[in-house]
Chain A
Amino acid sequence: MESARDPIPFRPYEPGTQPPYDVPAYGSTHKRHPQEALARLPHTVTEVAGPRFNPSQFPPIPDLSAVNGKAALGERIIVRGRITDEGGHPVPHTIVEIWQANAAGRYQHPADQHDAPSDPNFRGEGRVYTDEDGWYRFISIKPGAYPWRNHHNAWRPNHIHFSFFGSGFAARLITQMYFPGDPLLELDPIFLAIPDKAARDRLVCKLDMTLTEPEWALGYRFDVVLRGHAATPMEG
C-alpha cells in the first residue's frame, strides 16, 4: 500500500529519448545488453536520494586547456550551460564531470591506440559545479574526431563526455556533447541510437557569441535537463 510519506518518484523517461540497450549497429552492445526484461522497481529512498559532492572534498578542475601553465594545442573553447530538471527548476551546486580526447583525437589513456599525437599540456579530465542558478562553465580544447573499430572506416564525431548526478540516484546521467555542423553525426551509431531526432539534436551544443571571448576562445552553449519528479511537491 502506498503511503503519504512515500518519496515522490522520478518521472518516467519520455518515449524515444533514451537509447535502447541492444543496438545492432553498435557492436559492443551485442554481448553486453540484458536479454531478460528489466524488473520494475517503484522508487524508494534508495532511488530518490543520491550522492552530494562538495568542492572541499572533490576540488574543481575548471580548465582542461593547460597543464602547469603550458597551453595545450588546438582550438580553445569555453563551454557554458544551465542544468535544470524536467520541471524547469535549476539544479544548483551539482557536480559536472568532463573528459575528452585532445585536439588530435587522442585520449590520455594507455588503451587508446589511435596513431595521433599525445599532448602533455592537455588535461583530459575536468570537474565543475553549477552555481545556485544551475549554471556551469569550463575551458577546454575542441576535441578531435577519432577512429574506432565498430565497422570499416568508423570515426566518432567530435565529442565531450559528461557525467551528471542530479537530485537522486535514479536521475544519474552520462552523456556526450557534440558540435554543430559535424558531418560524422549522421554516420555515428552511438548518436543515432537515440530514436527521437529532437532528443538527439539536444546533444549538439550551439555556438554562442555572447560566451565567445574576443581574441581568446569560441564559446559554446550546452544545456542539460535532468530527470524531474512525477509530481511537484506542494510549495510554501
Chain B
Amino acid sequence: MPAATSGQTIGPFWHLIEHPEWADLTRFGAAGDRIELTGSVTDGDGAAVTDAAVELWQADPPADHLFPGFGRCRTDARGEFRFTTLKPGPVPGRGNAQQAPHFAIALHARGLLKGLVTRAYFAGDPMNESDPLLSSIDDPERRATLIARSRGAGHWRIDIRLQRGPSGETETVFLDV
C-alpha cells in the first residue's frame, strides 16, 4: 500500500476556509466549565505571525453533537488568537499513566510545509508533576513553554515561539507525532 500523502503548506490565503465562529467550541450549546484560551505566535525575529491557522483539539470532554472538541482561529494583525471552550479534565496516558489536562494545538502557516503540533497544559495543576510528556522535558524553561498561565477567572494564555527569540526567548516545544 502507498504511504501517507505528502503535506504542503497551508499558504497565506487559507482564510478562504476560515469561519470565525469555529474559535468558539461552545457555540452548539455545550455546558460545562467554560474558559478562554488566548495566546500569540511569534517567529525567530520576535515578529508577530499574522497569517497562521491555530487549531485546538481536546479529547476531553468527549466530542458530541454539542461539543466538537475542535476549533480553528486565525492569528490577527498582532499575532494573537482566542478560543472559547470547555476546560478539559485528565485523560489516560499509555500504560497506567494519567495525563494532566491539556489541549493539543496544531499550527499551520505560510512557511510551514507541514503542521507544527504542541500542547497547552494548565499552570498549577498538580497532575502536571507526573504528566508523561512534561516529565520527559528536562529543561524547565522549555517545559514551561507547554504551560498556559492563568490570567484571572477562566482565562488562560499561552505564547508560542516558532524559534528562539532575538533576546533569547525560549522556542516552544513542538512534538514529533
Give chain A's interface residues, CB within 8 Å of chain B: 1-3, 5-6, 10-11, 13-14, 17-21, 23, 26-36, 38-47, 49-54, 57, 84, 86-88, 97-99, 101, 107-109, 111-112, 124-125, 127, 161, 163, 169-176, 190-191, 193-194, 196, 199-200, 202-203, 224-228
Quick check: A57 and B28 within 8 Å, CB to CB?
yes
Using CB atoms, name the residue of chain A closest to B171. Answer: A36
* CB contact under 8 A between A45 and B163, given known A26-B113, A203-B6, A225-B2: no
Q: Is the CB of A46 within 8 A of B91?
A: yes
Q: 1/0 contact trace for B154-177 toward A, CB 8 Å? A: 000000001110000001111111
Query: Which A residues lie within 8 Å of B12 (CB)?
Result: 109, 111
A28 and chain B: residue at smallest CB distance: B111
Closest to A203 in B: B6
Shortest B14–chain A CB gap in Å is: 7
Given contacts A108-B16, A125-B16, contact A175 B6 (CB under 8 A): yes
- A51 vs B58: C-alpha distance in the bound complex, in angstroms? 9
- Taking the complex as formed, is B35 at the interface, i.e. its CB lies under 8 A from any CB of chain A? no
Answer whether A125 and B94 are a contact pair too, CB < 8 Å, given A13-B3, A46-B57, A174-B115: no
A86 contacts B116, CB within 8 Å?
A: no
Q: Which one of B62-70, B79-87, B122-130 contacts A?
A: B62-70
Chain A contact residues, majority secondary structure: loop
Bound form: Cα–Cα A82–B36 in Å: 38
Quick one: which of B76-113 are within 8 Å of A by CB?
91-96, 99, 102, 104, 106, 108-113
Q: How far is the CA of A44 from the CA of B98 in the complex (A)?
A: 10
Interface pair A39/B17, CB less than 8 Å apart = no
| Complex Cα–Cα for A3 and B96 (A) | 7
Task: Please name 12 pairs of A and B residues whose Cβ atoms are closer than 8 Å in the assembled complex, sorted by A.
Answer: A11-B4, A14-B3, A17-B4, A36-B142, A39-B176, A86-B2, A124-B16, A161-B14, A173-B7, A175-B5, A190-B8, A203-B5
State whether A193 touches B93 (Cβ < 8 A): no
Q: Do A19 and B13 contact each other (CB < 8 Å), given the known contacts A199-B3, A225-B4? A: no
Task: Identify which of B51, B63, B68, B133 contacts A39 (C-beta below 8 A).
Answer: B133
- The 8 Å CB contact of A200, one of B6, B58, B176, is B6
CB distance B162 to A2 under 8 Å?
no
